[in-house]
Each structure stands twice: as C-alpha cells, then as structure tokens.
Amino acid sequence: MTIALFVLTVAVGALVQSASGFGFGIFVMMFFPVILPSYGMSVTLSGALSLACTTVTAFRYRRHIAWKKLWLPSLCFCIVSAVFITLSGGAADSLMKRLLGAALILLSAYFLFLGSRIRIRPTHTAGAVAGSLSGLLSGLFSTGGPPIVVYLLAGTESNEEYLATIQAYFTVTNLFALAVRAANGLVTPVVAGYWVVGLLGIAAGVFLGCRVFHKLNAERLRLVVYLFMAISGLIMLILG
C-alpha cells in the first residue's frame, strides 16, 4: 500500500509539473512525510525525483536556456541550501513536519492571494534574493520553486525561455542539493530503491501530462493544489 501511494503521488506530482512548469516538490511534500518512514527520506526523494523530471525538459528545450540569468541565483542557492540541509539533518521529524505545515500554509496563501500581483525587476539583487530564498525553502522543505518562479517570470523574454531556464535551474540546484544530502548520509540503499520505483511514477505522470495537456485547465488545477496545500499544511502543523 505504501509503494502504491508513493507511485501515485509521484505520478500526480509529475502531472502538476507538466501543467504548471513547477510544483512537483510542493505537491509530493504534502504526502511524502506521511507515507514514508522519515522526513529526511522525504526531502531527499523529492529532490532526486524532481531532478529526473526536470532534466528531461531542460534537455528538450536546451537551446532556449538563458544561462547568464542562472549563475547568480544558482550560486546563492548552493550556499544557502548547503547550510540549511546540514542544520536540519539532526532536527526531529515532528518539528520539521510542523515547520513544513507552516510553510505550505504560507505558500498556498501567497499563490491564492498574491501570486498574480507580485512583479519584480530582474536585477542582480533580485536574482540573489530569489536564489537565497529558494535555497532556504529547498534546504528545509524541498519546495524551492516559488521565489525563482517570480524572478524568472520577470526576467525571461518568452515562454520557451522561461520553461527552459527554470527547468535548467531546477536541474542544477537539485543535483547540488542531492550531493549535499548524500554527503550528510541521507542517500541510502532504501532511498535508492524508492527512487527507482518512483521513476515509474515520473514516466506515467509525464506521459499522461503530454497526452492531456491541451485538455487541462492549468489555472483550475493549480487552484485545487493550492487549496489542498493549505489543508495539508494545517493538518501537519497541528499533528506534526
């Protein structure tokens, strides 16, 4: 039953990623801490499976990647995420789940009420802040997408450039975060086994996303995810 729920969660997360350009980590982290043995395993698998999902898209749109817009936020991400991955390694699972619950509630409120209103100028300062916030959220909760989404929406010149650049960012940063987690002993044979099984969910979600993408109402799908995110966050905050 755990394996079935795990694969289903991964598949739906990949579908959400296909429809929205991001959101895999946010979606799966609503469920992984509940169905997997430990919080550390949850964030490690979220990042590792997200890496598998984003690498394919980044390679497909590689000609549109704006590498010059990536180096500063990626550098800031690496520095900040390494610190918070290391600091959170010894924290109790119940504490991290409650912190994740609070983060999910705040993220859902942002997306529901402020996401379409906030626009920033694509400056170096904005890139550094976005990368740092992304590193903090990724290091603690494996949900580092929102800050970099805001930055790249303002800083890219076409849908193709945005999609290619943000997937390249996720590929680079998830690879780094995975290496740091491996150095902290979070990549175990059990995690590797779950990752292999999770690839089935990634393949199913991406395949389904490609088949039904033109039929999906992306805005409605995101609304459902954000509302469920708030409910999940509240449950985690209360129950830990």
Q: Pick from 60, 203, 129: which is nearest to 137 by CA?
A: 129
pLDDT digits (tens, 9 = 90+) for 167-182: 899 999 999 999 999 9
Which pair of tokens denotes residue 9?
Answer: 């969660």
pTM for this model (two decimals) = 0.80
pLDDT digits (tens, 9 = 90+) for 1-55: 788 999 999 998 888 776 666 678 888 888 898 899 888 899 899 999 989 888 8
Average pLDDT over every residue of 100-123: 74
CA atoms of 107 and 63, how far apart (whole Å): 32
CA atoms of 58 and 53, how far apart (whole Å): 9
Lowest average pLDDT, out of 100-109, 130-139, 194-203, 231-240, goes to: 231-240
The set of residues, in sequence order, having a beta carbon less than 8 Å from that of 224 and lying 6+ positions away, is none
CA atoms of 103 and 25, how far apart (whole Å): 13
Beta carbons of 17 and 205 less than 8 angstroms apart = yes
